[in-house]
Amino acid sequence: MSQPAITPATQAPGTDPAAERAKSTAKNLYTWCALVAGSASGPIIAASPTLGLDAKIGARLVLFRSSKVVSAWAGFTLSFPFGKDDQATNEAKGYGVKYKVTDLGTLGLTKADSLHIDVRLPRGGYTMDFEDASDKVRARLSGAGHPVKHVSVFTELSQYVNENRPIVDKVTLASLLRQREFIFVTCRSHEAMRNMFVDYYMPDPFVYPYGEEHRWHRDRLWMTHMETRGKEQFQPAYSYSDDNSHVAVAVQFNAQDILWVDEAAKKIAEKEFRAYFVPKNPDHADPADPRCRFYVIVSTPETFKMEYLSAWSRLTKGGGTCELELQKGDPEMRWGCVVVEHPRSIPALKEKHSPEQFDTVVLATPRPAKTKRFNCVSLIFDAGLEETERKVNAMNRFLPGAAPTRTTEFCDNMDLTTEERQRLHRDLMRGQGFYEFMTGGAGAERAPDMTERPTDGDASSEADTESVLDITEQPAGGDLVSDGDVLTDAIDWTPDLGTGKSSLAEDQRREPGFRKLPVVNYVDNFDLGLIDAVIEQVPAEDRARFRAYMSDRELGLCLIEAGPGFGKTSVLAACGILMVIILHNCLVTGPTNVAISNAAARIYDVSANVFTSYNADNLPVLRLRRPLVVRAYPAQVELSAFIHLLRDPRDPENAAGRNSRFHLPYTQTYWLLVLFGVDSIGELHDDDSNMLFKMRDSMPQRPELAPFFEVASGRISWEQFLAKSGDGLEHNILRLFSELLFSANFVCATPACTENDENVRSWKAAVASGVIVDEAGNMSRADLACVWGNCLLPCILAGDTRQLPPTVMTGREMDSEGYFFNRLADDGRISALEMLKASGFPVHVLHSQLRMPPALFDAPSREFYPDTPFTYAEWCSASRPEFESGRILEKFAQARFPDLRPPPEGMFKPVFLHCVKSEVYLNTITRSKRCPGQVDVAMDFIAGLVKEGIKADKIITLICPYAANVLHAEYRRRDSYKELLADMPAVSTIDSYQGKENDIIVVVFGTNKRYGVGFTGQRNRLNVLLTRARCGLVLVGDLDAVPKAKAKVKGGDKQTDIGPNGETVFVSIGSIRNIYNELVESGRVVTIAKDDAVRANEADEVARIEELKRKRKAGDADAKDARFVERKAAEEAQAMETREADRRTTESPEFD
């Protein structure tokens, strides 16, 4: 029976109770179907596997309406399966691995099992006609419901997608998607189909409420935030329906992350507080003395601290900087300050004026201009809007009409106009595929968004009788979206990967409106010997698929991912050399200075191996030079470092200041010192860049540089050098820096430096032909946009999306009315790498563990990488000399703790030191935790290792997640253990140690049963913590911090904590519980009530104090000894106060 055509309603009447119920219970509906050509009895184009038809392409009808960030839509989905081997065949052939969003509206990706194409019908722009299926049609579906083993023919599917071959008759994928009428056969009743597609509630289209103006303007962005406040946060989105939505979200999650803090800082600056000034050193109490410093005790009342609690925690976390304003409106009366986090431990304050519980103490550097007495001050904080402004400006370049960021010609031969590059780049960043570009559509604004398949939980599966649904689309047309690579080379099931060629006739392949994405072949070079030398730097088992992957990269985009210890940075370096061979100049970046310095060093080392190997086979006929790698810092930082090291080349650690992130190797400073002949820095290698040799040969001919050579060789003093150089000193250095930079093949810099430093910014715009990103799983999308620009330069990203995500400072914090400060916090946690993975681009995954010997990575693999098979590299044997320190560690632990079960032969396993009933002190303002007992256990264990012969300066690193424990450990290292551990690397937090490694890692969790696992239990952070060690991992903590699993207790595995940046975080403790349980079951847990060695150490310290007291009384103690006694007395008094406070209140004791 047939019915007249029906146009579905887009909105149910608001007065209809049934419609109102539908709004509150709207679900997604799915119906398995067959898509047929011509008529209901025509050939089958695609069909659901459950219908029992041997169709190679899957299909189902969809009514999608439950998402809060994607507009509701009706239409159908086509599925092109990858096969039943979890993409193993594709990966083995070098294609890579494709991922999809785990569940719409949540964070996380999983391996994809097929390519999905969503065809979305225009709202109000189509009609539907229903018919009962004839007996002939019913007979075709007689196998419905029976299991069918679907064996995909990959070659055919590849031809359908990549080469536009006919699927049935003359129907190609391109012609199918241009149709205006679609016919489906379903196993649902007539009434069921009508209920699904006619009598339904369709929510209004979703639109982000942030308008269309997104340029940086602080006050306008704040006003927009206040006008769009909400008591719910938006679900994270991996793709966007248009450019405006994409830019709006990226701008807003960066602005909302900081603007509320800046607003609070402005209000704090308006307040005045009583203050008390205490000289840090009584001998230098005159503000005119450049050595003068004051501790300023600012009386900040409890009501004030509580009113600004969240913002105050952010502004003062980690010893934040501020200005002390002594007189309103007078810039001369602002002193630079650092907030003192633990003032009660300072003897000078203990003697003069003990801070009250809510007082704030700052260490101020006075201006000598005015010395009047003041007792009221204001605190001026800088929330750091400059970085936000940079990110907002970078994202605005992805709006249509934005100026191109590239100012010179392109070198990649992608045969695209600048306008096409910008359009494709916008499509890529939106993550919805390239259908408009490939079919010659009007533009990106017309392109719809891509949505991953939701779970099938809402689908109804009953089969009553067969129906035929005829959907006729009106001329307005519908939306077609995919996983990111519709009608492109990005999906290729064929065995001959990388050829980029089709067997179709030219006229058939060039069907009107069908265009392929451009491809970059990174291994296509006239000198195959050089390419082979590069590929030899990749582990042998990965070389074939690595070569195939790099030979056929759509849009020049390469994604490399693996867990820690799999050689990501080395493979990235090999990719970078391949890129430089064809593009000549590449910009290297990352989320942190550590990541960028590591990448620069690895690129230089890998290039050294490549060109040494190549030249060994070709000399003396041919010598190829290494590319020039320059690690660039801002010009003023480089200038300070160069002058410091030219004067004292033996002090590279403090070249740019004690707390600088400057790392000397391969910087402009480094290369310039080498060219001036400073022997202690280094010398040129015969294979180094020819540009360096040209500069070295030309520099002695320049008279203005003569003093540099003289002071570098020691022929003149520093004073004589300054006199000879005159006023042109800085100018001459900066000019040499510029010459080096513009001669470089690799410039390695932070995103901020590429924008804020004039020379680096110019090099990026005019010279850089490709972009390389390390630790891309930790890099924000705005930072990627800043370095990549908007002209689709070839780009290579490497990282791990299961380690630390991009930093989001504002998580779940709310104002006093219950409105979220940042409604887009989860969007901010989507990294550059994760965004591109979700868009459908294949990823080259590494499978060889190169860092750790057997067993040490087993637990992290099971917990964090269950879908990624791996093997330990052949040379990672526990018996190798490189792992001697691990064997010493195990021998020492077995001797100290006889009950510790040894690991299996030839393996290493972590050791857990369980500190029973650990005391943890909580700062009620910053929420930072301090556990001196666990720190002392860790320090004593490390001291014991050093006594066994392990070198603390190179072998051992102590990690404390909480900054308060870092400070306590640093104090202990420099005081009680200074003879053994003075040379040990500085104690680190988890976040600051990502990208680093050492032989032995000792971790202090610093939590207990009362306060729970804290933010250390977050999966990403726990992953980093457990994978820094090469051959020895010691965990110090309290097992009781993790509650035992409770069945059917809602939220039992969830805890809340304050993160390392002062943000509120939710912690799911399932992973850390699994790790703890495995350690207990394997016998690798040692219980420590109060270790005898620690008691002995304390006894020694007590004896020392008593002896010094005796000497002091007798007048024999020197000043250093006296200060030690004073400090110890202050600490004892503080400990007594803390214990007394803990007895008086159920709240945590203050340790500040």
Per-residue confidence (pLDDT) for residue 19, from 0 to 100? 47
333: pLDDT confidence band, cut at 50, 70 and 90? confident
1150: pLDDT confidence band, cut at 50, 70 and 90? very low
Residues 663 and 795 in one domain: yes
Q: What integer is the mean pLDDT of 740-756?
A: 97
Residues 679 and 566 in one domain: yes
- Is the pLDDT at 179 greater than 90, yes or no? no
669: pLDDT confidence band, cut at 50, 70 and 90? very high
Of 65-79, 437-451, 908-922, 969-983, the least confident: 437-451
- Strands (DSSP E) contained in 500-575 are 519-520, 553-554, 557-561
Question: Residue 432 in contact with residue 481, Cβ under 8 Å?
Answer: yes
Inter-axis angle of helices 729-741 and 690-698, to 10 degrees? 150
| b/e burial code for range 1120-1148 (CB count within 10 A of at least 16 → b) | ebeebbebbebbeebeeebeebeeeeeeb
Q: Report the C-alpha gap between 194 and 130 in whole angstroms.
A: 8
Per-residue confidence (pLDDT) for residue 132, from 0 to 100? 80
**What is the rounded average pLDDT for all residues in the chain?**
82
Most confident of 275-284, 389-398, 469-478, 612-621: 389-398
Per-residue confidence (pLDDT) for residue 371, from 0 to 100? 54
Q: Which of the 8 DSSP states describes residue 717?
A: -
User: What CATH number did the domain enclosing 329 receive?
Assistant: 2.40.30
Question: Residue 214 in contact with residue 479, Cβ under 8 Å?
Answer: no
Q: Choose one of 330, 362, 383: the last residue of a domain.
A: 383
Per-residue confidence (pLDDT) for residue 6, from 0 to 100? 44
- Is the pLDDT at 194 greater than 50, yes or no? yes
Residues 980 and 1082 in one domain: yes
Residues 962 and 995 in one domain: yes
Residue 939 lies in a domain: yes
473: pLDDT confidence band, cut at 50, 70 and 90? low
Residue 862 lies in a domain: no
Per-residue confidence (pLDDT) for residue 450, from 0 to 100? 29
Residue 1002 lies in a domain: yes
Both structure tokens of 449: 């968004």
Nearest to 296 by CA among 229, 352, 230: 352
How far CA 594 is from CA of 17, 601, 660, 775, 1007, in Å, comes to: 60, 11, 12, 10, 28
7: pLDDT confidence band, cut at 50, 70 and 90? very low
For 496-521, what is each residue's pLDDT tens digit?
222 222 233 333 344 444 688 899 99
Of 89-93, 342-346, 385-389, the least confident: 342-346
Residues 1108 and 1070 in one domain: no
Residues 1006 and 1140 in one domain: no
Per-residue confidence (pLDDT) for residue 527, from 0 to 100? 84
In the block, tokens 């820094």 appear at 1028
Of 62-66, 657-661, 800-804, the least confident: 657-661
Q: Report the C-alpha gap between 263 and 280 in whole angstroms.
A: 32
Residues 484 and 360 in one domain: no
For 950-981, what is each residue's pLDDT tens digit?
888 889 999 999 888 998 898 888 888 888 89
- Is the pLDDT at 289 greater than 50, yes or no? yes
Dihedral sign from CA coordinates of 747, 752, 755, 759: negative
Per-residue confidence (pLDDT) for residue 86, from 0 to 100? 74
Per-residue confidence (pLDDT) for residue 250, from 0 to 100? 97
Residue 536 lies in a domain: yes
The structure's pTM equals 0.86
Per-residue confidence (pLDDT) for residue 105, from 0 to 100? 66
For 221-232, what is each residue's pLDDT tens digit?
999 999 999 999
Top-confidence residue, 597 or 928:
597
Residues 788 and 840 in one domain: yes
What is the Cα gyration radius of the chain? 33
Nearest to 99 by CA among 124, 116, 120: 116
Residue 414 lies in a domain: no
Per-residue confidence (pLDDT) for residue 1024, from 0 to 100? 94
1127: pLDDT confidence band, cut at 50, 70 and 90? low
Nearest to 642 by CA among 667, 612, 607: 667
Beta-bridged to residue 1003, according to DSSP, are 959, 1035
Question: Residue 976 in contact with residue 948, Cβ under 8 Å?
Answer: no
Residues 1080 and 1109 in one domain: no
Residue 252 lies in a domain: no
87: pLDDT confidence band, cut at 50, 70 and 90? confident
Residues 168 and 113 in one domain: yes
Percent of the chain with pLDDT over 90: 50
Residue 232 lies in a domain: no
Per-residue confidence (pLDDT) for residue 1113, from 0 to 100? 63
Q: Report the C-alpha gap between 843 and 207 in whole angstroms.
A: 31
Neighbours of 500 (CB within 10 A): 15
Q: Report the C-alpha gap between 186 and 192 in whole angstroms.
A: 11
Report the relative pairing of strands 1054-1058 and 1029-1037 from DSSP bridges.
unpaired
- Is the pLDDT at 1056 greater than 80, yes or no? no
For residue 1139, what are the domain limits? 1101-1144
Residues in the chain: 1152
Residues 334 and 478 in one domain: no
Rounded-to-10 torsion of CA 862, 866, 870, 876: -20
Q: Which of the 8 DSSP states describes residue 777?
A: G
Of 224-238, 250-264, 332-346, 397-411, the least confident: 332-346
Per-residue confidence (pLDDT) for residue 10, from 0 to 100? 42
Dihedral sign from CA coordinates of 1122, 1124, 1125, 1126: positive
User: What CATH number did the domain enclosing 599 receive?
Assistant: 3.40.50.300
Most confident of 308-312, 444-448, 774-778: 774-778
Most confident of 47-56, 176-185, 832-841: 832-841
Q: What integer is the mean pLDDT of 458-483?
A: 50
Q: What integer is the mean pLDDT of 576-587?
A: 96
How far CA 346 is from CA of 358, 413, 928, 1117, in Å, comes to: 16, 64, 19, 21
Question: Residue 521 in contact with residue 581, Cβ under 8 Å?
Answer: no
State the DSSP H helix or E strand holding residue 302, giving kind and residue range, or none if neither. helix 302-307
In the block, tokens 């103690």 appear at 1117
Residues 1084 and 1118 in one domain: no
Per-residue confidence (pLDDT) for residue 137, from 0 to 100? 66
Both structure tokens of 252: 């807003």
Q: Choose one of 845, 866, 887: the last residue of a domain.
A: 845
What DSSP assignment string belongs to 662-673? ---TTBHHHHHH
Q: What integer is the mean pLDDT of 187-213?
A: 82
Q: Report the C-alpha gap between 1004 and 929 in whole angstroms.
A: 12
Both structure tokens of 646: 């030219």
Q: DSSP H helical segments within 104-199, as ranges? A: 135-140, 154-162, 173-177, 190-197
| b/e burial code for range 454-469 (CB count within 10 A of at least 16 → b) | beeeeeeeebeebbbb
- Is the pLDDT at 316 greater than 60, yes or no? yes
1027: pLDDT confidence band, cut at 50, 70 and 90? very high
Neighbours of 982 (CB within 10 A): 11
Per-residue confidence (pLDDT) for residue 154, from 0 to 100? 59
Q: What integer is the mean pLDDT of 650-676?
A: 90
Residue type, 900: L
For 161-173, what is each residue's pLDDT tens digit?
877 888 888 888 8
Of 109-123, 554-568, 916-930, the least confident: 916-930
Both structure tokens of 126: 């189509």
Question: Residue 885 in contact with residue 950, Cβ under 8 Å?
Answer: yes
Residue 116 lies in a domain: yes
User: How far out from the chain centre does Cα 156 lie?
Assistant: 39
Nearest to 481 by CA among 511, 452, 440: 452
Question: Residue 586 in contact with residue 555, Cβ under 8 Å?
Answer: no
Both structure tokens of 204: 């209004």
Q: What integer is the mean pLDDT of 906-932?
A: 86
- Is the pLDDT at 1121 greater than 60, yes or no? no
- Is the pLDDT at 1129 greater than 90, yes or no? no
- Is the pLDDT at 621 greater than 60, yes or no? yes
Q: Which of the 8 DSSP states describes residue 1050?
A: T
Q: How many domains does the chain have?
A: 5
Q: Report the C-alpha gap between 707 and 724 in whole angstroms.
A: 6
Q: What integer is the mean pLDDT of 873-896?
A: 92
1124: pLDDT confidence band, cut at 50, 70 and 90? low
Both structure tokens of 4: 């007249």
Q: What integer is the mean pLDDT of 784-804?
A: 96
Q: What integer is the mean pLDDT of 37-52?
A: 85
Q: Report the C-alpha gap between 1121 and 286 in whole angstroms.
A: 27
Residues 6 or more apart in contact with residue 755 via CB below 8 angstroms: 390, 394, 761, 786
Sheet holding 586-589, edge to edge: 629-631, 746-748, 586-589, 770-773, 795-799, 557-561, 844-845
1090: pLDDT confidence band, cut at 50, 70 and 90? low
Nearest to 925 by CA among 345, 323, 311: 311
Per-residue confidence (pLDDT) for residue 243, from 0 to 100? 96
Q: Report the C-alpha gap between 200 and 28 in whole angstroms.
A: 11
Q: Which of the 8 DSSP states describes residue 490?
A: T
Report the relative pairing of strands 73-81 and 114-120 from DSSP bridges.
antiparallel
Dihedral sign from CA coordinates of 11, 13, 15, 19: negative
Question: Residue 45 in contact with residue 165, Cβ under 8 Å?
Answer: no
Per-residue confidence (pLDDT) for residue 513, from 0 to 100? 44
Q: Choose one of 337, 363, 383: the last residue of a domain.
A: 383
Q: Cis link prior to 620 (omega < 30° from 0)?
A: yes
Top-confidence residue, 922 or 965:
965
